[in-house]
A and B are shown apart, each in its own frame.
Chain A
């Protein structure tokens, strides 16, 4: 269930959709990806409907769902194979993507031998290998433990700064949303509608140092207040 939502995401912008569970985040994301039909309204990507821009979408979901018989590299290259992209170029690109997460030495490992957090990072690389113009992520780092989470977010942040792919992230993690986004869209409990749009105008790269951490915490608190007013968080 998704309530009436009107939202515009600029090119090269990173937007997070944050809301309690069952606020329709995933549904909204799947609608943008063209996986769930829209009952009312429209979604335009670069001025065209989803059917015409499909190939330009990279999707990352909660569960990485890597193919266990393929190596890390082969998993990342799957979209390139599907879309018949140039082998050598894709391979180079995949290598660069994996390097951002420090995964270069795992290139030849079977996907199933990867630790959980790394598998999630690989699924991010897989979503970017065909150079999509829109990156959609549905709680991709939910299952990571706190330490791996910070590590993966750091890698992802630097990777994103390099590529500037327009991105929409669904999350329930305030910190993740603030750290990565230009804007955080705060949704109400389902059916979700937009409570407030919080701009995060902190310089990038956002490091967890003495200067930056309090500012990130401030933003988190602001969002927490909005949600608390709705009774979404205690």
Chain B
């Protein structure tokens, strides 16, 4: 029985839609506003401390210096951002394909089904990023290891969320279709895949920072380009300004990617808001920098 969405059950369609539209758009900006205000105050405090105490160390630059560095190195940073961004994206997309394939096989094969859940759960508990140097020694220098590490870090959360989404489709509808001998692939495509989308987007939101972290760390170890390289290079010269500038760009990429996924979610999956919120809990890692609960 569908008790979870009790509140929405008796709404007329028009009421229903308007509740959706306003709930999402009204609360989000205020939260964002509060966050931005706090961040601004912290930066201001930092700037004041550096200026008042006359800190001249290159390891503690003021935010304004970092900002100037951003402007000065804009072209270089843009190039770095493109490299790291593309590596992360490729890793993430490959992981998406692998995760999807794994989840499909999981739903079709009983023996695999018994194996995938513990395997994914194990991998999610492992600090896979520590494998980056090993992967560089295997794959070699350049962009390939970055893509590989991003891929490696993204597969477990993506596969787990897609798999969870596939199994979230109610047994009843699957039985109804099975009883009429509906083709299995069509059932997958028309029922399981759409049902999985909210889970998938939640998985992608978890995977975005992982992909960026994976690509960056791989660049620390084995690359001469990209934001990761700029970061270690700055660190090796004990110069924090270029390092912080690169970190700022990295953070911006993460935020923008998150925003894009969130936007797609809100425009393509309005129906998902009416699903019981339990559906979205209990998958993948519980704590992550950008994992936001679905109730907002």
Report whether B176 and A54 are in contact in the complex, using a CB–CB cutoff of 8 Å: no
Q: Which among B170, B176, B269 is the interface contact of A127 at CB below 8 angstroms?
A: B176
Q: What 1/0 flags go to B255-291 for Cβ under 8 Å of A?
A: 0000000000000010110110000000000000000
Interface size class of A (residues with CB under 8 A): 35 or more
Of the stretches A105-113, A182-190, A215-223, the one at the interface is: A105-113
Of the stretches A4-12, A65-73, A166-174, A206-214, the one at the interface is: A65-73
With known contacts A63-B172, A68-B275, A78-B190, A113–B8 Cβ distance under 8 A: yes
In whole angstroms, what is the CA distance A83 to B1 when docked? 28
In whole angstroms, what is the CA distance A191 to B202 when docked? 45
Measured CB to CB, the closest approach of chain A to B288, in angstroms, equals 27
Is A136 part of the contact surface with B, judged by Cβ < 8 Å? yes
In whole angstroms, what is the CA distance A61 to B195 when docked? 19
Measured CB to CB, the closest approach of chain A to B268, in angstroms, equals 9
Is B42 part of the contact surface with A, judged by Cβ < 8 Å? no
Is A33 part of the contact surface with B, judged by Cβ < 8 Å? yes
In whole angstroms, what is the CA distance A115 to B5 when docked? 11
Is A202 part of the contact surface with B, judged by Cβ < 8 Å? no
Interface size class of B (residues with CB under 8 A): 20 to 34
With known contacts A33-B175, A68-B275, A69-B271, A116–B2 Cβ distance under 8 A: yes
Which of the listed residues B8, B181, B190 has the most CB atoms from chain A within 10 Å of its own CB? B181
Report whether A113 and B179 are in contact in the complex, using a CB–CB cutoff of 8 Å: no
Report whether A110 and B176 are in contact in the complex, using a CB–CB cutoff of 8 Å: no
Q: What 1/0 flags go to B81-109 for Cβ under 8 Å of A?
A: 00000000000000000000000000000
In whole angstroms, what is the CA distance A58 to B180 when docked? 6
Q: Which residues of B contact A57 (CB under 8 A)?
A: 179-181
Residues 228-277 (chain B) with a chain A CB within 8 angstroms: 269, 271-272, 274-275
In whole angstroms, what is the CA distance A54 to B180 when docked? 5
Q: What 1/0 flags go to B157-182 for Cβ under 8 Å of A?
A: 00000000000001111011111111
How many pairs, one residue from A and one from B, have CB atoms within 8 Å of each other in the complex?
Answer: 92
Is B186 part of the contact surface with A, judged by Cβ < 8 Å? yes
In whole angstroms, what is the CA distance A113 to B11 when docked? 6
Report whether B8 and A67 are in contact in the complex, using a CB–CB cutoff of 8 Å: no
Is B191 part of the contact surface with A, judged by Cβ < 8 Å? yes
Q: What 1/0 flags go to B1-20 for Cβ under 8 Å of A?
A: 11001001111110010000
Q: Which among B170, B183, B274 is the interface contact of A82 at CB below 8 angstroms?
A: B183
Is B142 part of the contact surface with A, judged by Cβ < 8 Å? no
Is A81 part of the contact surface with B, judged by Cβ < 8 Å? yes
Report whether A82 and B180 are in contact in the complex, using a CB–CB cutoff of 8 Å: yes
Q: Which among A64, A68, A109, A132 is the interface contact of B180 at CB below 8 angstroms?
A: A132
With known contacts A61-B175, A68-B275, A126-B176, A110–B13 Cβ distance under 8 A: yes
Q: What 1/0 flags go to A128-157 for Cβ under 8 Å of B?
A: 001010001000000100000000000000
Is A97 part of the contact surface with B, judged by Cβ < 8 Å? no
Q: Which among A33, A66, A81 is the interface contact of B179 at CB below 8 angstroms?
A: A33
In whole angstroms, what is the CA distance A82 to B180 when docked? 9
Q: Which residues of A contact B13 (CB under 8 A)?
A: 109-110, 113
- Chain A's closest residue to B187 (CB) is A82
Is B133 part of the contact surface with A, judged by Cβ < 8 Å? no
Q: Which residues of A contact B63 (CB under 8 A)?
A: none
Is A18 part of the contact surface with B, judged by Cβ < 8 Å? no
Is A38 part of the contact surface with B, judged by Cβ < 8 Å? no
Measured CB to CB, the closest approach of chain A to B294, in angstroms, equals 15
> Can you list 22 contacts pairing A with B, beta carbon distance less than 8 Å?
A30-B175, A34-B179, A35-B179, A54-B180, A57-B179, A63-B172, A65-B172, A67-B191, A67-B194, A67-B195, A68-B272, A69-B271, A78-B177, A78-B190, A81-B186, A81-B190, A82-B177, A82-B186, A83-B180, A112-B5, A113-B11, A116-B9
Interface set of A (CB-CB < 8 Å, partner B): 30, 33-35, 54-55, 57-69, 78-79, 81-83, 109-110, 112-113, 115-116, 123, 126-127, 130, 132, 136, 143
Interface set of B (CB-CB < 8 Å, partner A): 1-2, 5, 8-13, 16, 170-173, 175-183, 186-187, 190-191, 194-195, 269, 271-272, 274-275
